[in-house]
Amino acid sequence: MADKVHIVPHFHWDREWYFTAEESKILLVNDMEEVLTMLETREDYPCFVLDGQTSVLEDYFSVSPENRERVRALVQRGKLIIGPWYTQTDEMVVGGESIVRNLLYGMKDCREFGSPMMIGYLPDSFGQSARMPQILRGFNIENSMFWRGTSERMGTDRTEFFWEDDDGSRVAVQLLPLGYAIGKYLPVEKEALRKRMEKYMPVLERGTATGHLLVPNGHDQMPLQRDIFQVMETMRELYPDKEFFLSRYEDVFAAIGRQGNLDTLRGEFLDGRYMRVHRSIFSSRADLKAANTRIENKITNLLEPLASIAYKLGFPYHHGLVEAIWKELMKNHAHDSIGCCCSDKVHRAIADRYFLAEERADRLIEFYMRKIVDAMDCSRALDKLTVFNLLPYEREGMIRGKIVTKMKRFVLERPDGSRLEYEIADRRIVDAGLIDRQIVHYGDYEPFVEYTLEFCDRIPAMGFTTYLVREAEALAGESFTASMAAGTGESPAASVADGTGESFAASMAAGTGEKLAVEPADPAGNGRPASPAANTLENEYLSVTIEPNGSLTVLDKQKGQYYRDVLLLEDGSDDGDGYDYSPAVNDWVLTSKEETADVRCQHGTYSHKARVRVSMAVPAGLESRSERRRDGRVDVEFELELKAGSPVLEVRVTVDNQADSHRLRLLVPGQEHEGFSVSDNQFGMIRRPVRDEAMDVWEKEGWSERPDSIYPFLSWVSGCGERGLAVLTNSVREYEMTGPDYGVLAVTLFRSVGVLGKEGLLRRPGRPSGIKMETPDSQLRGSHTYEIALTACRDHLARTAKEYVTPFISYNKMPYNAMKLNPAEAKVPYAYSLLRETEGRVVLGALKKAEDEDKLIARFYNGGGEKVPVRLKDENGDLAVDVVKLNETDVLSRHVTGVQWVGYNQIFTCKF
């Protein structure tokens, strides 16, 4: 018999949802005053939980800074419970580093006031990531509390259990089986309270393994319940055999700690039997989710490693600027915000924050590159092109860089004096005033020319190499090949085919129209694309033929395997809402199989490119679809690129959507799946069934939502067999294995819906999720761009995907710049390597400066393998590191050198 009932005062604070963050801030000022006053004046009111996120305090202090000391005093007395998160993060479609930084910055914020709540408190996240036990234990958090995603199918019918990750990390869980709001607005009146509690008590008693029941006393934006003491008196009358008392979550976990024999669960929790997890929310407002993916990758893969290199070379690491970018991004990681199940007003605010975060990241990346290159010796050349490789191993491949100059001809010279062969892919005129206003101030209006160059070279591990840009004159009678080797910048017009005889330069009509290629490409595949046929892109790994309907036939040249109908478009109805996809009862699914595409190809020395345009007539809305009318359209442009030496076909997709209430997906057939798909998740990989067996019984058993096998991925996904093309992404993150035999990998480009919440969906019966509100912007009318890639190389997909989202970046140093800087004191060499990981099996998760020490943090993870080695070296040999927890401070092993072993789905963090 459960005889102890813990009533914990709290509120759940959605910063924004159908209301804006500005509206909730006004309510916050009112509610916080009541909370602070109650905690200060009543000793028998033990605590109040601020929803586990410090962004609530940040918002509050932005308008009420005078109350900082009141808050600090209450936190230190243990009455106001704050942290450990910065925002109430989603766990499924944000990257692992985003979740780590959310805890890192949240706990840092807490330390200004006192101690954080050491509970992984995520009461409303739409599903639970399998990596959470390991992440939480990395911050010494041993307990977790959440609501959504579990059922007895996971391995227990108890509300208290242990949750274990693949590396052995384990946390104790107190499930919220009925959510975080069962104690909202509890009535004092006896019969009303009885009616409420009779719904909850049997569920709580049936699930408990400890005899301790939890009733969270709060709700979304709910003010403090002043009459809670009277409510408890009434409860005691109703249940004289139970003990009711105001409590804290820590006391609940203390009871769990005394109960040793609990079930142990593993894996992710995305089960919608008892509570909605919104399995298809991963594609709501795909434009915003794509922005999140792109910015996460810029921060972790480009900005922070670049800042770390600069720091080791003697430049400041600007923690404040980096933290400001992360926090701007993480304001969008709250479950409703990243879910994009909000009002149009809120979605516009989310887009503004993405713009601000990306602009800050882009400018800081450029700043660090400039600081490094500006500190190089200028005696040999004033103009330079420096290329950065921000992965911990040498990389050789095609590099695209830009040079802005007034030189008519130029050569690129390596630090050792040898010249670099390159090709001019594009050129455009740049107004001198954009380069430096001082130039035109003194009357020089002669424009500059920006050249886009392509070349192949090897770049040091986690470092850079610099090419000196020198003016050159072509020699009389010099051949084209020789002049290119000297870097004169001269190229003939491209000899390309588009099926019509029209030149590429004329058909593309982009920029200056000069898309230039050298004479015949290398047919032997020696690091360059071979000469392909019309409408074919080819290198030593892949041969990609563009069919008349715009789909691709891909030949994996290593295995001799063909894949056909790749990137067919599939368009079907979406009668769902901002939370979930749901088809119309009378659906009509169309594909681009019978369409006619417009194809333009460009064959260069270092890359093959194509532009493929497909226009599909589709129903303009649900009514048109039910009547089988094609009175709307989607125009899709694919920009394909196959680079020299790369097993990856890069695909940039721009969609002009002129229809409502539909879903557009890309199809990648030919998957060998053995019943499972495999994809990455935070710091690892995961196998999922291509069909959930509960599909046969979900209606009979009264599930909250249909268990369709629609899942998130972060950077790569494929079938789990040996054959099939894997999909990499730098944008959208939702997939499903579909088709008669589940051999087609369908990647959602976008869903188009017009309401925030809707009742009675085909796949989600009953009440609306959220509220019923029109959201016309969520129809995603207009143009949106997404970036994915395809590869047949299945060996270590995690590293292949990492390379795809970590491109070479470059900086062109010239004698002019609109923003002046004084010369740096540091002296930087032309080439540099910070560190190397020599074993080649782990994946770099992060490289950054430690928050509180003058050391660097490197984080790796096992992206696919039972046990893999990691070994770090610098110019002096093996690097001595301290192995640390995710919190960066707790040391597990000191002064470690040589090979370390990283288990399956394990995170390895070190400090040096």
Weakest-pLDDT range from 157-171, 490-504, 889-903: 490-504
- What is the H or E stretch that residue 6 is in? strand 4-9
- φ, ψ dihedrals at 370, nearest 5°: -65, -45
pLDDT tops 80 at residue 440: no
pLDDT tops 80 at residue 633: yes
Q: Which of 514-518, 746-750, 793-797 has the highest mean pLDDT?
A: 746-750
CA-CA distances (angstroms) from residue 475 to 424, 469, 480, 598?
Answer: 19, 18, 11, 42
**Segment 515-547, tens digit of pLDDT:** 333 333 333 334 444 456 789 999 999 999 999
Give the tokens for residue 318: 């600007």
pLDDT score at 479? 38
pLDDT tops 50 at residue 490: no
- Is pTM beyond 0.85? Reply is yes
Pick 513 or 182 by higher pLDDT: 182
**Segment 90-130, tens digit of pLDDT:** 999 999 999 999 999 999 999 999 999 999 999 999 999 99
- What is the H or E stretch that residue 908 is in? strand 907-911
Q: Could you tell me if 680 and 798 are in contact, meaning their C-beta atoms sit under 8 angstroms apart?
A: yes
pLDDT score at 477? 44
Confidence of residue 358 (pLDDT cuts 50, 70, 90): very high
pLDDT tops 60 at residue 494: no
Edge to edge, what strands does the sheet with 710-712 contain? 590-591, 568-573, 662-668, 744-752, 734-738, 710-712
pLDDT tops 90 at residue 438: no
pLDDT tops 90 at residue 475: no
Weakest-pLDDT range from 241-255, 395-409, 433-447, 737-751: 433-447
pLDDT score at 2? 74
Biggest alpha carbon–alpha carbon distance for the chain:
105
CA 472 to chain centre: 45
CA dihedral 180, 184, 189, 193 (to 10 degrees): -20
What are the catalytic residues? 124
pLDDT tops 70 at residue 498: no
Q: Could you tell me if 713 and 733 are in contact, meaning their C-beta atoms sit under 8 angstroms apart?
A: yes
- Cα separation, 414 vs 523, in Å, equals 27
pLDDT tops 70 at residue 501: no
Q: Could you tell me if 641 and 607 are in contact, meaning their C-beta atoms sit under 8 angstroms apart?
A: yes
pLDDT tops 70 at residue 150: yes
Q: Could you tell me if 286 and 666 are in contact, meaning their C-beta atoms sit under 8 angstroms apart?
A: no
- Cα separation, 746 vs 666, in Å, equals 6
Confidence of residue 466 (pLDDT cuts 50, 70, 90): very high
- For the residues 352-369, what does the mean pLDDT come to? 98
pLDDT score at 534? 83
pLDDT score at 229? 98
> If you average pLDDT over every residue of the chain, what do you get?
92
pLDDT score at 1? 59
- Cα separation, 549 vs 565, in Å, equals 9
- Percent of the chain topping pLDDT 90: 88
pLDDT tops 80 at residue 513: no
**Segment 664-683, tens digit of pLDDT:** 999 999 999 999 999 999 99
Q: Is the dihedral of CA 623, 628, 632, 634 positive or negative?
A: positive
Pick 436 or 75 by higher pLDDT: 75
**Segment 338-348, tens digit of pLDDT:** 999 999 999 99
Q: Could you tell me if 903 and 865 are in contact, meaning their C-beta atoms sit under 8 angstroms apart?
A: no
Weakest-pLDDT range from 47-51, 206-210, 267-271, 865-869: 865-869
